[in-house]
Amino acid sequence: MLFDQVFDKPKWRGADEFPSSDEWKREIDKWLQYIQRKGQLARYKPRLNDSKTRRDEALAEISSAYFLEEKLGHEVLRWEEKTVGDRDVDFVAKVSSWEVFCEVKSPGWEGELDPQERLGGRKALPKYINAEARFIGPWQSIRHAIAKSYPKFLDNQKNLVIMRDDLFVGPLDARGNLEIALLEEHGIYGEEKGYFADKRFERVGGFLALDVRLVVTKGFEYRHQFVPNRFASVPFVLS
């Protein structure tokens, strides 16, 4: 299996239970075979064997590209495409007859911990702890992903922010959070309007939330939701 060849004495070993099951191992192997076919495996291998954070960032990029091409039929044309200055986006995909510049963000649950939890060692514990309660606001992570991606985008291109998260509760699990993050028009949340409610983020053509999960009796589900920016300078639709 390619999985065993790629993950050779990784630095992250013991940091978590990755890949957690044989089913996940086989699914991730499909992603690795995909980037091998695309000629990108050697470039990704150092990150995949680095820290847990860098591993997860790399897998988020790989699985997002895999989803667009293998599940939706949008071919990935180029990788690490230069844009503004020395910045680049993760890859460029062909959507219909257009080129869409894609940047993937992968916020993790560790970033949702408060300072006291970090100092108390919560980060070293499992993601979910029985009976642990906390405030959940994935709309903040959505906005942060867009704000971090924005400086990379050119004015005259179709640009897409993809979020493949590992939050306590993701955008597709918390009803209304995509609307709050992107479309809310009154500035109720975070004292600012949704990021697609005006022209502040007009270089972003849309936002794609992607979640991959293993469902008993069904296998793997690639849940996703695309939200277009009606104020985009170069709009497009992803289907």
pLDDT tens, position by position, 29-54: 999 999 999 999 999 999 999 999 99
- Any idea of the CA torsion for 37, 237, 165, 107, to the nearest 10 degrees? 100
Q: Binning pLDDT at 50, 70 and 90, where does residue 83 land?
A: very high
Q: Binning pLDDT at 50, 70 and 90, where does residue 115 land?
A: low
Q: Binning pLDDT at 50, 70 and 90, where does residue 135 land?
A: low
The pLDDT of residue 15 is: 87
Average pLDDT, the chain: 91
Q: Kindly state the percentage of the chain with pLDDT values over 70.
A: 87
The pLDDT of residue 119 is: 54
The pLDDT of residue 80 is: 98
Going by C-alpha positions, the residue among 82, 50, 45 that lies closest to residue 62 is 45
The pLDDT of residue 143 is: 96
Q: Which residue has the higher pLDDT, 127 or 194?
A: 194
CA angle 62, 11, 69 (to 5 degrees): 5
Q: Are 230 and 196 in contact (CB under 8 A)?
A: yes
Q: Please report, for the chain, the start and end positions of each structural domain, with discontinuous segments joined by +.
A: 17-125+133-228
> Is the pTM here over 0.95, yes or no?
no
Q: Which residue has the higher pLDDT, 239 or 76?
A: 76
Mean pLDDT of 80-101: 97
The pLDDT of residue 7 is: 96
pLDDT in tens, 163-186: 998 876 889 988 899 999 999 999
pLDDT for 109 beyond 90: no
